[in-house]
Amino acid sequence: MSQSYAPTPEFTEQAVGQAALYDEAAADHQGFWARQARERISWDTDFEQALDWSQAPFATWFAGGRLNASVNCVDRHVDAGNGDRVAIHFEGEGGDTRTITYADLQKEVAKAANALTELGVGHGDRVAIYLPMIPEAVIAMLACARLGAPHSVVFGGFSAEALHTRIADADAKVVITADGQFRRGKPAPLKAAVDAAIDHGDDESPVETVLVVQRAQNDVEWVEGRDRWWHDVVDGQSETHEAQAHDAEHPLFILYTSGTTGKPKGIFHTTGGYLTQVAYTNAVVHDLHPESDVYWCTADIGWVTGHSYIVYGPLANGATQVLYEGTPNTPHEGRFWEIVQKYGVSILYTAPTAIRTFMKWGDDIPAKYDLSSIRVLGSVGEPINPEAWRWYREHIGGGTAPIVDTWWQTETGGIMISPLPGVTELEPGSAQRPIPGISAEILDDEGQPFTEPEKVGYLVLTKPWPAMLRGIWGDPERYKDTYWSRFGPEYYFAGDGAKYDEAGNIWLLGRVDDVMNVSGHRLSTAEIESALVSHSSVAEAAVVGAADETTGQAVCAFVILREGAEDAGDETVQELREHVAKEIGPIAKPRQVMVVPELPKTRSGKIMRRLLKDVAENREVGDVTTLADSSVMQLIQDGLKE
Question: Scanning residues 427 to 456, which ones bind ligand 6R9 (CB under 6 A)?
Answer: 431
Spatial distance between the Cα atoms of 499 and 417, rounded to a whole number of angstroms? 13
* Count of residues engaged in binding ligand 6R9, rule: CB under 6 A: 24
Q: Which stretch binds ligand 6R9 (CB under 6 A): 45-53, 72-80, 329-337, 503-511?
A: 503-511
Residue closer to ligand 6R9 by CB (options 380, 388) is 380
Residue 408 annotated in ligand binding:
yes
Report the residue number, 93 or 496, with the smaller CB distance to ligand 6R9. Answer: 496
DSSP string for residues in 572-623? HHHHHHHHHHHHT-GGG--SEEEE-S---BBTT--B-HHHHHHHHTT-----
522 binds ligand 6R9 (CB under 6 A): yes
Q: Give dist(CA 636, CA 642) in Å, integer.
A: 10
- 246 known member of a binding site: no
Shortest CA distance to 402 belongs to which of 36, 2, 17, 87?
A: 17
270 binds ligand 6R9 (CB under 6 A): no
According to the binding rule CB under 6 A, does residue 382 interact with ligand 6R9?
Answer: yes
Distance CA 516, CA 559 (A): 18
**305 annotated among ligand-binding-site residues:** yes
By CB under 6 A, residue 496 contacts ligand 6R9: yes
Rounded distance, CA 276 to CA 438, Å? 13
**DSSP class of 363:** T
543 to 572: interface string for ligand 6R9, x by CB under 6 A:
------------------------------
Q: Which member of 165, 517, 525, 572 binds ligand 6R9 (CB under 6 A)?
A: 517
First and final C-alpha spacing in the chain: 45
Give yes or no for residue 295 binding ligand 6R9 (CB under 6 A): no
Coil vs helix vs strand at 176: strand
Segment lying near ligand 6R9 (by CB under 6 A), choices 57-65, 164-172, 504-512, 571-579: 504-512
Q: Which of 409, 439, 462, 530 binds ligand 6R9 (CB under 6 A)?
A: 409
- Position among 380, 396, 426, 440 found at the interface with ligand 6R9 (CB under 6 A): 380
Size (the chain), residues: 642
User: What DSSP string runs through 371-402?
Assistant: -TT--EEEEESSPPPHHHHHHIIIIISTTT--
Binding window for ligand 6R9 (CB under 6 A); candidates: 94-102, 173-181, 407-415, 474-482: 407-415
Closer by beta carbon to ligand 6R9, 180 or else 421: 421
Rounded distance, CA 497 to CA 77, Å? Answer: 41
Nearer to ligand 6R9, 179 or 496 (CB): 496
Nearer to ligand 6R9, 229 or 487 (CB): 487
Question: How near is the Cβ of 322 to ligand 6R9 at its closest, in Å?
Answer: 19
Residues 230-259 touching ligand 6R9, rule: CB under 6 A, are: 257
- Which residue, 198, 212, 141, 140, is CA-closest to 168? 198
Q: If you compute the radius of gyration of the chain from its CA atoms, what whole number of angstroms results?
A: 24
Please give the Cα distance from 189 to 156 (Å, whole number). Answer: 10
185 labelled binding-site residue: yes
Residue 52: strand, helix, or coil: strand
* Percent helix, percent strand, percent coil in the chain, to nearest 5: 30, 25, 45
Of 39-47, 380-388, 434-442, 585-593: span binding ligand 6R9 (CB under 6 A): 380-388
Instruction: Tell whether 505 is in a known binding site.
Output: no
E strands present in 167-261: 174-178, 180-183, 186-189, 209-213, 227-229, 246-247, 251-257
Please report, for the chain, how many H helices and E strands are present, in that order.
22, 30
> Candidates 37-45, 66-74, 330-338, 515-523 — which segment interacts with ligand 6R9 by CB under 6 A?
515-523
Choose which of 405, 514, 548, 614 interacts with ligand 6R9 (CB under 6 A): 405
Q: How far is the CB of 519 from ligand 6R9 (least distance, A)?
A: 11
According to CB under 6 A, which one of 33, 61, 407, 493 is a site residue for ligand 6R9? 407
Q: Is there a contact between 360 and 404 (Cβ–Cβ < 8 Å)?
A: no
Asked if residue 39 belongs to a known ligand binding site, the reply is: no
Q: Is 495 in the site for ligand 6R9 (CB under 6 A)?
A: yes
Quick one: CA dihedral 85, 87, 93, 96, positive or negative?
negative
> Binding to ligand 6R9 by residue 288, rule CB under 6 A?
no
Rounded Cα gap, residues 546 and 592, in angstroms: 10
Instruction: Return the residue of 57, 378, 383, 552 that touches ligand 6R9, per CB under 6 A.
Output: 383
Q: Is 408 in the site for ligand 6R9 (CB under 6 A)?
A: yes
When the beta carbons of 11 and 303 are compared against ligand 6R9, the nearer one is: 303
Q: How far apart are CA 202 and CA 492, in angstroms?
A: 37
**606-611 long-range contacts, Cβ below 8 Å, gap at least 24?**
607/542, 609/514, 609/525, 609/542, 609/543, 609/544
> Which H or E run includes 344?
none
We find the least distance from the C-beta atom of residue 416 to ligand 6R9, in angstroms, to be 9
Is the CA virtual torsion 62, 67, 72, 73 positive or negative? positive
Shortest separation between residue 304's beta carbon and ligand 6R9, angstroms: 5
Residues 296-325: x/- map of binding to ligand 6R9 (CB under 6 A)? -------xxx--------------------
The reply on whether position 265 binds ligand 6R9 by CB under 6 A is no
Work out how close the CB of 414 gets to ligand 6R9 at its nearest, in angstroms, rounded to a whole number.
9
| Least separation in angstroms between CB 331 and ligand 6R9 | 28
Distance from C-alpha of 8 to C-alpha of 25, rounded to nearest angstrom: 25
Q: Which residues are annotated as a binding site for ATP?
A: 381-383, 405-410, 496, 511, 522
Q: Which residues are annotated as a binding site?
A: 183-186, 305, 329, 381-383, 405-410, 496, 511, 519, 522, 533, 535, 538
Q: Which residues are annotated as a binding site for Mg(2+)?
A: 533, 535, 538
| Interface residue list for ligand 6R9 (CB under 6 A) | 257, 303-305, 380-383, 405-410, 431, 494-496, 508, 510-511, 517, 520, 522
